[in-house]
A and B are shown apart, each in its own frame.
Chain A
């Protein structure tokens, strides 16, 4: 303590002794002692001055161990297409920005609608029990299709509940219905980039009011920025600002942010290639980037950028919701399917559909009727 007195007498103002080493040198004490004394002095100064509240949680520091524990405890938003979930490392991660790029008609909006329903799955069924914000800039959100997906999800969960007959499953099903799912998808239609910017500025307040939101979907981040922009540097600046705000939102509110992007043609020397739109610098905005593309008649999903998963490609399908397609799916299961694994991942085929229950239903039903799964 007397060291503090020494410091204070040596330096008229506490702020003057900012460097530990110079303080140690001047007074002739060891560096550790000087550091201790300085910290005490600083605490006193901080206590006097008015509290300068920064953004809540905007500067956090923690050790990697704390981060590991957080990551492991964190949920994923499953897409119900096991191959897609696998390459993503479990599903769409919370607190990260995932970007989905794709050619027109490849299924980006379908996946977004599916995620908006999947985020609401109760925890006992493996979901995160959250709500969803859907920001639509292209007008491609179809309520009827979302209702179809929601109905299929509820039916799938009912199947699981029937199979397992557990108390909490049945209880959760009481509140998990078509009406409740649709009521918890908050839809905003932004017609131009100004409305989009305004909405993202207001999003933190909205998320504070609706604290159960775990997913923010912006369907079509490219569309409003691809016309009416003579000043490309303004566009880059606005996009960067948008990306920053979304990162803050994802972190502060522990939600996943999913953006969809378009593909654009880039003309090279003698060829043209399809690349994600909005330029090279936008590629840095998202943590995880998925590219959906066509290979003749097969839809493929490629994990293009991820800090933790390997780059890989899987095929997928979008099927229409019809119960009578189940037998067809059974037929496509190879005889090589092990009854114990009971998954449809033979030859890398997996289906991703508005049911999105094919994989899990098979898993569940296979457990009930193991003989059916091995029929091909």
Chain B
């Protein structure tokens, strides 16, 4: 919209030519000038410049719709407003599932099940609408090379054994998952920009980026000057492009994020995540901070405050004890704060509905600062037999 040429904004030919002499060719250039500059550049009076402004604005401005029209459109096809996750209690709390048309983010320490969740959602998106899917293709942008096709088939076969009863159905499903391996921020951004045409041609119904944090943290070191602003810039640009795609085509977008340590004085240090075997060692971090005081460190979602604003829904996956993990709904425009327990099995994520600890409403807090339990804390708690009832305890050092 911003790059619309002035000619198409129904301005007269000579005016466009005159403006192009000042390098003003798009609506964006026109609207960024002040009234005085516009008067100078067009050589017209105050009133006619205001009229021109209105004309150009008409060309750029969005269409008006009333909330009623939006609701009617939603109620016409209700089944495509959400993508059910097949975790029934979670779907109930979310009023249907992962919302279409907005960004959903998964944050967790390594090894909690983000990639498993993404793989499961890819399978679900390819299922027909009668089974709760979106009957479409999936774009999976993998920056960590963590996607495993064999695991995909295993999950599909075990979760929906009646549907995937033949090899042919499995292959049809795998053919509709388009995998892209992008390893740098630039290539990820370019790929997102090119997605618009692919969505239309391949009938894409789900976009997954696994993970945003790994590629961003490889390239931007927030301790270096200027990098923080550039990182926020990149993230904001990516988020707005993805939001545009999500809304334009009414599809869900799932992103994954990593964790970071935020010390009580607020500085965030990137967690050392070399491989899933190495967990964050908090005592090392607080010792390395250098100041004499003991600061209580807590593990939170990475990528900062601005990113927490950009995503519409945030799920936090964390460790509970040796076997079970927890999924927290930390930010959602429709769901209250809730938590569920799950384990990872052959068929992917399975909710532990039987336990009476499931579906606890908990007092959530700022989604950007919600503390997350990492593996060694969970292990420590399990070994010391501490029953951990409220999630998000700051591990005491």
Contacts and interface: CB of A to CB of B under 8 A. Distances in A.
A228 B233 contact: yes
A104 B71 contact: no
A233 B306 CA distance: 21
A144 B60 contact: no
B111 interface: no
Contacts of A234: 32
Interface residues of A, number: 65
Interface string A290-315: 00011011000000000000000000
B281 interface: no
B305 A227 contact: no
B331 interface: yes
Interface in B10-42: 27-28, 31-32, 34
A265 interface: yes
Contacts of A194: 1-2, 27-28, 31-32, 60
Contacts of B228: 267
Given A104-B366, A195-B2, A109 B31 contact: no
A297 B1 contact: no
Given A184-B66, A270-B265, A272-B265, A198 B243 contact: no
A170 interface: no
A105 B313 CA distance: 9
B60 A105 contact: no
A189 B333 contact: no
Interface in B58-72: 58-68, 70-71
A193 B1 CA distance: 10
Interface in A143-192: 143-147, 179, 181-192
A238 B67 CA distance: 29
Interface residue tally on B, bucketed by range: 35 or more
A297 B233 CA distance: 30
A192 B247 contact: no
Contacts of B236: 223, 226-228
B74 A144 contact: yes
Given A143-B70, A182-B71, A190 B305 contact: no
Contacts of B369: 103, 294
A197 B60 CA distance: 9
B129 interface: no
Given A104-B367, A139-B247, A227-B237, A183 B54 contact: no
A210 to B, nearest CB: 10
A239 interface: no
B67 A182 contact: yes
Contacts of B334: 142, 144-145
A237 interface: yes
A195 B64 CA distance: 12
B378 to A, nearest CB: 21
A139 B363 CA distance: 26
A201 B333 contact: no
Nearest to A231: B32
Contacts of A146: 67
B56 A198 contact: yes
B395 interface: no
9 contacts: A105-B368, A147-B67, A179-B68, A187-B70, A188-B61, A192-B240, A197-B31, A201-B57, A293-B366
Contacts of A319: 336
A144 B95 contact: yes
Contacts of B32: 194, 197, 234, 238
Contacts of A341: none
A274 interface: yes
B1 A191 contact: yes
Interface string B357-369: 0000001111111
Contact of A145 (B53, B330, B333, B366): B333
Interface in A123-148: 134, 138-140, 142-147
A265 B56 CA distance: 36
Interface in A244-285: 262-265, 267, 270-274
Contacts of A205: 54
Contact of B68 (A183, A193, A227, A274): A183
B101 A263 contact: no
B11 to A, nearest CB: 14
Given A109-B333, A205-B54, A237-B34, A192 B66 contact: no
